[in-house]
Amino acid sequence: MQDFLKYAKMNPFDRMRAGILKSMNLTEADLARMSPDQRAAVEQKIRDAIEKQLEKKGQQPGSLVDQSA
């Protein structure tokens, strides 16, 4: 139940990131344990995957930013 509530409270970007990490069989804790070079490589793969997902949906990078503030 707590996992569901945590997921439900995520913004769209965080949900995409979590899904991509899951597809890579990684967690945020796994990333934290990586060397800086390894983490940078994985973060780049995540960015690339998010950009591809946005392109498929016809959205521009940055369109998921909350601009209400």
Q: Residues 63, 10: contact at Cβ < 8 Å?
A: no
Give the whole-angstrom CA distance, residue 44 versus residue 2: 29
Q: Where are the domains of the chain?
A: 2-56
Q: How confident is the model at residue 25 (pLDDT cuts 50, 70, 90)?
A: very high
Q: Which residue did the predictor score with more confidence, 8 or 59?
A: 8
The mean pLDDT of 55-69, rounded to a whole number, is 60
Give the whole-angstrom CA distance, residue 28 versus residue 6: 14
Q: Cβ neighbours of residue 40 under 8 Å, at least 6 residues apart?
A: none
Q: How confident is the model at residue 20 (pLDDT cuts 50, 70, 90)?
A: very high
The mean pLDDT of 38-43, rounded to a whole number, is 96
pLDDT value of position 61: 54
Give the whole-angstrom CA distance, residue 18 versus residue 24: 10
